[in-house]
Structure 1
Amino acid sequence: MSLRSICVFCGASPGARPAYREAAEALGRGLAERGITLVYGGGAVGLMGLVADAALAAGGEVIGIIPQSLKDAEIGHPGLTRLEVVDGMHARKARMAELADAFIALPGGLGTLEELFEVWTWGQLGYHGKPLGLLEVEGFYARLRDFLDHLVTERFVRPQHREMLQIASAPAKLIERLAQWQPTVAPKWVERSPN
């Protein structure tokens, strides 16, 4: 699969550990070095700003998508290749998904998880066939990975849908896995409860 653009979901905070910042910068550089456009939420703060700044510093193209309300709060990144202003969060997510060939989640909070799970659900339902991945940084997503495996064991998620999420601790390895990923076709479980 040819990856021309990757959407990165990540925190508007830099987080508690220097490793989170380092991972964001390494991912931004890695995308730029491969000629892959970074698509992200358009912010200048936290890991969002760091991944964008690193991509730009390495000569990469960066497209930010930001709701007007957040731009008005003066957290929009002023130095991007392109900053698109949209009406709200739903429009932001739809536009990022439209522009991206794949998705990566760095460490982040509720917004990062919500964005990841929404595009994952869209893939599960067959709305797109784009790969997605977690950049694992010092075990940040370890408990989430355990819980996702629990969902499979408890038959709320098919193994094929769990395997849609690629995981690696090095940006280059994760990008490689996303490029090699092939969509799987498996219907979402729909079982009727016994009467």
Structure 2
Amino acid sequence: MKSIAVFCGSSDGASNVYIESAKKFGEELAKHGITLVYGGASVGVMGAVADAVLDAGGEVIGIMPNFLEQREISHRSLSKLIVVNSMHERKAKMAELADGFVALPGGPGTLEEFFEIFTWAQLGLHQKPCGLLNINRYFDPLVELFNHMTKEQFLHEKYRSMTLVDVEPNRLLEKLNFYEPPSIKTYLNEKQT
């Protein structure tokens, strides 16, 4: 895996553990020679993971819509900053450049980005791994929701298992490296084929 797109918050979070763990994840990316592709901000969890990759000698590509770049929150020390016209273009460019995806703690925007890329995988639009770095057990309620969706038969087990979850960066990276995508979603059953 040469690059990972990271979705995460532009806030620090309520505990230092979010920033410290984001830094640890960034260090691991650089150590493994994995390019970070992310939203391009210099603040919050986003800024922490980018700074850690850069400080460890790694490569960081930021993708930022021009309306956010104009607010001067873009990171000025990136390997490359790509300015796009919209949030949709940002997500498409991140998907294009990344070999896998990881969400770190963040708000609704982080979840929206993760869910879109997860849905694209479920539909077979890409076969790249999707992971959650479960810092401070932040994603436990989301994991429980996935389990509930599966139990209530709104999410098939083979798609439930597409979301790779771990609290440790190294273990999550290992899971991403060994990911095997499931078959593509279809609504046809044996009687219709």
Unaligned runs of 5+ in 1: none
What number of residue pairs does the alignment pair up? 189
Checking the alignment, whether the CA contact within 8 Å between 1:156 and 1:189 is kept in structure 2 is no
Deviation at 1:87, TM superposition (A): 0.3
* Fraction of identical pairs, as percent: 50
Query: Which residue in 1 is equivalent to 2:26?
Result: 28
> Structure 1 runs of 4+ off > 4 angstroms?
188-191
Residue from 144, 147, 152 that aligns with 1:146: 144
Q: Letter of the 1:5 partner, please give it.
A: S
Q: TM-score, normalised by structure 2?
A: 0.96
From the superposition, tell whether residues 190 and 23 of structure 1 become closer, same or farther in structure 2 (CA, over 3 Å): farther
User: RMSD over aligned Cα, in angstroms?
Assistant: 1.1
Q: In the aligned structure 2, how far is the partner of 1:26 from the partner of 1:50? A: 9
Query: Which residue in 1 is equivalent to 2:16?
Result: 18
From the superposition, tell whether residues 111 and 58 of structure 1 become closer, same or farther in structure 2 (CA, over 3 Å): same
Q: In the aligned structure 1, how far is the partner of 2:123 from the partner of 2:166? A: 24
Q: In the aligned structure 2, how far is the partner of 1:188 from the partner of 1:65? A: 33
- Give 1:1-150 correspondences, 5 Å limit: 3-150=1-148
Q: In the aligned structure 1, how far is the partner of 2:25 from the partner of 2:188? A: 38
Deviation at 1:85, TM superposition (A): 0.1
Checking the alignment, whether the CA contact within 8 Å between 1:160 and 1:186 is kept in structure 2 is no
Q: In the aligned structure 1, how far is the partner of 2:173 from the partner of 2:134? A: 13
Alpha-carbon displacement from aligned partner over 1:28-54 (angstroms, at most 9, x marks no partner): 110001000000000011000000000
Q: Letter of the 1:13 partner, please give it.
A: S
